[in-house]
Amino acid sequence: DTGVSQDPRHKITKRGQNVTFRCDPISEHNRLYWYRQTLGQGPEFLTYFQNEAQLEKSRLLSDRFSAERPKGSFSTLEIQRTEQGDSAMYLCASSREGDTQYFGPGTRLTVL
């Protein structure tokens, strides 16, 4: 059992640049979730997929954010024209439908 993996673990970028993060879920899990966490707060839901279908998006997910899960396996989260307010830990989780979510180690984004 390899668990949920995320890449990269850390990303430093300049304001205005685009960034892309990758998440590989636990292999038998059909659901994949993205969360954002800032210092002193709990994770906040961004979006989730069941297989390749994106079923829900939070109001937090502005039009600069896009997520894909093209073959129902790994997922990518892209942020275009990054802003300093995008600095946060981006967490990915996966689960079987309706079951407990297991989290990856996160990608820490710093926007300068």
Please report whether residue 110 would count as binding other proteins according to CB under 8 A.
no
Tokens of 6: 């995320």
Distances (CA, A) of 28 to 3, 36, 51, 80, 95: 11, 24, 11, 31, 8
- The least distance separating other proteins from the CB of residue 78, rounded to whole angstroms, comes to 20
Number of shown-chain residues binding other proteins (CB under 8 A)? 23
Please report whether residue 105 would count as binding other proteins according to CB under 8 A.
yes
Residues numbered 35 to 94 that lie near other proteins (CB under 8 A) are 40-45, 48, 55-56, 91, 93
Q: CA-to-CA distance for 72 and 2, rounded, in angstroms?
A: 18
- The least distance separating other proteins from the CB of residue 79, rounded to whole angstroms, comes to 19
Please report whether residue 12 would count as binding other proteins according to CB under 8 A.
no
**CA nearest to 77, candidates 38, 106, 43, 34:** 34
Please report whether residue 34 would count as binding other proteins according to CB under 8 A.
no
User: Please, are residues 108 and 10 in contact by the beta-carbon 8 Å criterion?
Assistant: yes
Between 60 and 112, CB nearer to other proteins:
60
User: Taking contact as CB under 8 A, which single stretch among the options 12-20, 34-42, 61-69, 71-79 is the one that binds other proteins?
Assistant: 34-42
